[in-house]
Amino acid sequence: MLYLDAPVDAGFSYSEIVDGVLDLTTQDIYLGLQKEDGFTPNATHIPGRLPAQDPLKTANTTDTNVRTLWNAVQLWTIEFPHHPSIDKISVWTNSYGGYTATSFLSYCFSQNEKIVNGTIPSNEAKKIVPDNLGLTNACVDIVEQGKGSIDYAYNNTYNLSMLSETGYKLAMQAFSGPGGCKELTLHCRDAASKFDPFGFGNNDAVDKACHNAVGICQPLTMIPELHANRSSYDIAHLVPDPQPGYNALGYFNEAAIQQALGVPLNFTYTPNVVAMNFFATGDPVRQDKSHLERLLNGGVKVAMVYGDRDSRCNWMGAEDLAIDLVWADADKFKASGYEKIVTSAAYTGGVVRQRGNFSFSRVYDAGHAVGAYQPETVYAIFMRSMFGTDVATGRVLASAYSSKGSQSSKDIKNKLPDSPRGRCNIWQMQQTCTQEQIAALKSGKAWVANSEVLRPASSAGAMALTVLR
């Protein structure tokens, strides 16, 4: 199993390593600051060995990232021949990775065709055969999933309406009306297909068209924060959101752990240079469902797994996408019904509809990082999908299988739990800390243990619920 940090400069990856300082309050990286420059390390400014912040040395689009990933996998097979391997590859991903994973595996198909027909000499590259794709609360196509974000905010299975009727109509107008998200996205994609077909992100007119679309579309995925003081990653949580836990970020930045892993630099979760690159080219709206359709028609096993408390890449929009996919067994998938996902006699973690090796699972009481909330259920889905059995029980070969039951699970309601206490993690201040805590960290008055601020205490849960009128 490989964990790939991409694009370059994210995680432990880098184009060049430099000495610098990470500002934890903004995630900005300042290069070369030393004591003689007047810099003194403190709780919000951490010195370290960091990736160079050169926007020209990292990716600016999913397409560019995918080409780099393909080369990385090729190099892995060449440089480590003592690791036995087969041609097949499976990819499991989350969130923005939905764009990357579907595009990457589709790109593998294209490259394999070039290897077979001799366009790429067979002695210079190895076929990488897509076998399985797992999409966990992944965004794939805003045109297909965008309406679901609004529906979810207004009428979800937790009986929490974060929009009034008027607010719902306004949001729908912003999505599908003239000059709205859908229209601007289709214009972006049309322009990209004509003037930037390989997704280099180097055509100013295309970048501007796509960037403008993102500006309209993105707020529609953030309705919980903007109108209800709740996290779009878990609507049960008031902001600042204490979940998912960010303890791994502090762990990866411990010197002993870095030495054990053999990495020469600090771990950077999402460098601003990468985020700014991708948003400048409007990348979040460029990708569409065609890659996923190609994978299904090419026989790839696909599992869509969605926690039902996530609003950002929510299950309602994902279900719309799954139903609208055009592939050989599309009609049979639409005719399939929901069955319980059985993991033990005492517990049901969700429901699934499935046709052949394509499944869509709604996982109960789980947010954006679905595996962190329901590890047993998600592990069962993972194993059953990987080995080509039915996701409901794992006992039936999936090749000609269709699940049976109701074609909708929206009648299955859940109770929204109380928001958990806040947990301010210094490695993700913007998402997890109050302004009071950030101020205390800056002034040196905060009490910190294991990357968590203990004093001042977190106050998540004290914010008043507001509804757009």
Catalytic residues: 95, 310, 368
Token pair for 328? 């050989």
In angstroms, the CA 185 to CA 191 distance is 10
Are 115 and 87 within 8 A, CB to CB?
no
Cis geometry, peptide bond prior to residue 264 (ω within 30 degrees of 0)? no
CA-to-CA dists, residue 389 to 356, 382, 384, angstroms: 9, 10, 5
Q: 304 forms bridges with which residues in the sheet?
A: 135, 360
In angstroms, the CA 442 to CA 425 distance is 14
Is 192 in a helix, a strand, or coil? helix
Q: Where are the alpha helices (DSSP H) in 80-180?
A: 97-117, 142-154, 165-176
In angstroms, the CA 446 to CA 435 distance is 12
Token pair for 391? 């996701």
What is the DSSP secondary-structure string of 243-296? Answer: -S--HHHHHHTSHHHHHHHT-SS--BSS-HHHHHHHHHTTGGGT--THHHHHHH
Token pair for 40? 């003194």
Token pair for 394? 């794992």
User: To 10 degrees, the CA torsion angle through 213, 218, 219, 223?
Assistant: 140
Is 66 in a helix, a strand, or coil? helix
- Residue at token pair 């806040």: 422
